[in-house]
A and B are shown apart, each in its own frame.
Chain A
Amino acid sequence: MGPYNILCMPITGPAAADGASAKNAVEQGLKEVNDAGGIKGKKVNLIIYDDRLNPQEAVAIANKLIEKDRVVGVASGSYSGPTRVTAPIFQKAGMPMVAGYAVHPDVTWDPKEKKPNDFCFRNGFLGEIEGAAAAEFAVKNLKAKKISLIFMDNDFGRAISSGFAARAEKLGATILSKQMYKFPGEKDFRPYLTRIKEGNPDLIFAAGYYNEAASICRQAKELGITSQILGEEGFDSPKFLEIAGPAAEGVIIATNLDRDDPRPLVQNFLKNYRKAYNEDADMVGASSYDAFMILVNAIGKAGTDAKAIQKALLGTKDYNGLTGKISRFIQGEVVKPVQIQVVKGGKFHRLGVVDNPEVITPPTKK
Chain B
Amino acid sequence: MLWQQLANGIAIGSVYALISLGLTMVYGILRILHVAHAGIYALGAYVGLFSFRLIGNFWLSLIVGMAGAAIAGYFVERLLYTPLLHLPRIAPLIVSIGLFTALEEAFRIVAGPHTLAYNARVGLGDLSIGSFHLTETQILILLVTLAILIFLWAFLTKTRTGLAMRACAQDPETTSSFGVNVSAIIAVNFLIGSAMAGAAGVLIGVYDNQVWPTMGSIPAYKALAIVVLGGLGNIPGTVLASIVVGLAETFFIGVLAIPFPRDAVAFVAMILVLMFKPYGLLGKA
Instruction: Say if the two chains contact directly (CB < 8 Å).
Output: yes
* B253-A243 in contact (CB<8A): no
* B217-A185 in contact (CB<8A): yes
* A194-B113 in contact (CB<8A): no
Nearest CB in chain A to that of B246: its residue: A188
Say whether, besides A187-B208, A195-B1, A224 and B133 are in contact (CB < 8 Å).
Answer: yes
Residues of A within 8 A of B209 (CB): 214-215, 218, 243, 245
Q: Which of A54-62, A175-183, A327-335 contacts B (4 or more CB under 8 A)?
A: A175-183
* Highest count of chain A CB atoms <10 Å: which of B9, B12, B135, B213: B135
Q: Cβ of A37 < 8 Å from any Cβ of B? A: no
In the bound complex, what is the Cα–Cα distance between A350 and B42 (angstroms)?
Answer: 37
In the bound complex, what is the Cα–Cα distance between A186 and B255 (angstroms)?
Answer: 17
* B254-A195 in contact (CB<8A): yes
Pick from B1, B11, B113, B257: contact of A16, CB under 8 Å: B113
Chain A contacts with B in 106-156, Cβ cutoff 8 A: 153
Residues of B within 8 A of A17 (CB): 113-115, 212
Chain A min CB distance to B278 (Å): 29
Residues of B within 8 A of A223 (CB): 4, 133
In the bound complex, what is the Cα–Cα distance between A242 and B118 (angstroms)?
Answer: 10
Residues of B within 8 A of A245 (CB): 117, 119, 209
Q: Cβ of A192 < 8 Å from any Cβ of B? A: yes
Complex interface bits, A195-237 against B, C-beta within 8 A gives 1, otherwise 0? 1011000000000001100110010001110000000000000
Chain B contacts with A in 245-279, Cβ cutoff 8 A: 249-251, 253-255, 257, 259, 261-263
Q: Cβ of A337 < 8 Å from any Cβ of B? A: no
Q: Cβ of B161 < 8 Å from any Cβ of A? A: no
Chain A min CB distance to B227 (Å): 19
Residues of B within 8 A of A186 (CB): 262
* B135-A222 in contact (CB<8A): yes
Residues of B within 8 A of A211 (CB): 115, 210, 212
In the bound complex, what is the Cα–Cα distance between A182 and B218 (angstroms)?
Answer: 11
Q: Cβ of A19 < 8 Å from any Cβ of B? A: yes
Q: Cβ of A190 < 8 Å from any Cβ of B? A: yes
Residues of B within 8 A of A153 (CB): 261
Complex interface bits, B108-145 against A, C-beta within 8 A gives 1, otherwise 0? 10001111010100000010000001010000000000
* B8-A194 in contact (CB<8A): yes
* Highest count of chain B CB atoms <10 Å: which of A181, A195, A197: A195
Residues of B within 8 A of A185 (CB): 217-218, 263
Nearest CB in chain A to that of B259: its residue: A180
Complex interface bits, A1-19 against B, C-beta within 8 A gives 1, otherwise 0? 0000000000010101101
Chain B min CB distance to A9 (Å): 12
* B108-A181 in contact (CB<8A): no
In the bound complex, what is the Cα–Cα distance between A236 and B135 (angstroms)?
Answer: 27
* Highest count of chain A CB atoms <10 Å: which of B105, B214, B263: B214
Residues of B within 8 A of A177 (CB): 257
Chain B min CB distance to A184 (Å): 8
Say whether, besides A191-B5, A194-B4, A224-B133, A20 and B113 are in contact (CB < 8 Å).
Answer: yes
Residues of A within 8 A of B105 (CB): 12
Q: Cβ of A43 < 8 Å from any Cβ of B? A: no
In the bound complex, what is the Cα–Cα distance between A66 and B206 (angstroms)?
Answer: 47
* B108-A12 in contact (CB<8A): yes
In the bound complex, what is the Cα–Cα distance between A245 and B253 (angstroms)?
Answer: 26
* B250-A191 in contact (CB<8A): yes
Q: Cβ of A311 < 8 Å from any Cβ of B? A: no
In the bound complex, what is the Cα–Cα distance between A317 and B189 (angstroms)?
Answer: 68
In the bound complex, what is the Cα–Cα distance between A222 and B214 (angstroms)?
Answer: 25
Residues of A within 8 A of B133 (CB): 222-224
Pick from A182, A194, A210: contact of B254, CB under 8 Å: A194
Nearest CB in chain B to that of A247: its residue: B209
Say whether, besides A195-B1, A222-B135, A243-B210, A188 and B8 are in contact (CB < 8 Å).
Answer: yes
Q: Cβ of A301 < 8 Å from any Cβ of B? A: no
Residues of B within 8 A of A187 (CB): 204, 208, 210
* B5-A194 in contact (CB<8A): yes
List 7 tightest A-B contacts by C-beta distance, closest first. Answer: A191-B254, A16-B113, A17-B113, A191-B253, A190-B8, A191-B250, A185-B218
Known A-B contacts: A20-B114, A187-B210. Give 4 more (CB < 8 A): A179-B257, A185-B217, A191-B249, A223-B4
25 contacts between A and B (CB under 8 A): A12-B105, A12-B108, A16-B113, A17-B115, A19-B113, A179-B257, A182-B262, A182-B263, A187-B204, A190-B4, A190-B8, A191-B9, A191-B250, A194-B5, A194-B8, A195-B253, A198-B1, A214-B209, A215-B208, A215-B210, A218-B209, A222-B126, A243-B115, A243-B117, A245-B209
